[in-house]
Amino acid sequence: MPYIFLLGLYLQLFTVFFAFWQKQYTPLRLLQKNGLLSVVRDTQRQKMLVMLPHQDLPWHTGTKNETIIDLMMIGGMWDILLYNMSANRVVDPATMAQAVVTNLKAHLDYIN
């Protein structure tokens, strides 16, 4: 699978994530203010861990356990979302997704 193609899929996935939750910004802030946001995060994490391995995405091989990388992606996206929420920043979802992909790309050399 070409590297550029995978980055494009990540970009789409991240854009959808940020766009969805940006539409839910007001209820998320209310949940956060009342200490209930962890319930949403925990519920989504549980559902995503069941759903993600069955998605038709090139990085899901089905031959190995991908729980660790799935947890890292789910938690990381939430942390980025909450970081911006706590500073009352509303960032365009496509711009935020591009920033995530750009940063991932820049740090891949440290893993190899």
95-106 per-position pLDDT tens digit: 999 999 898 888
In the block, tokens 């995978």 appear at: 6
Mean pLDDT value of segment 59-86: 85
| Contact between 101 and 6 (Cβ < 8 Å) | no
Q: Classify 61 as helix, strand or coil.
A: coil
28-64 per-position pLDDT tens digit = 999 999 999 999 999 999 998 888 877 776 667 777 8
Closest CA to 96 of 112, 79, 75, 81: 81
Which of the pair, 79 or 110, is modelled with greater confidence?
Answer: 79
Residue the block writes with tokens 């899929």: 9
Q: How far is CA 29 from CA 46, 73, 86, in A?
A: 21, 22, 9
| Closest CA relative to residue 15, chosen from 80, 86, 92 | 92
**What pLDDT is stored for residue 3 in this prediction?**
52
pLDDT at 86: 84
If pLDDT is split at 50, 70 and 90, which confidence band does 76 have? very high
pLDDT exceeds 60 at position 16: yes
Domain segments of the chain as ranges: 3-105
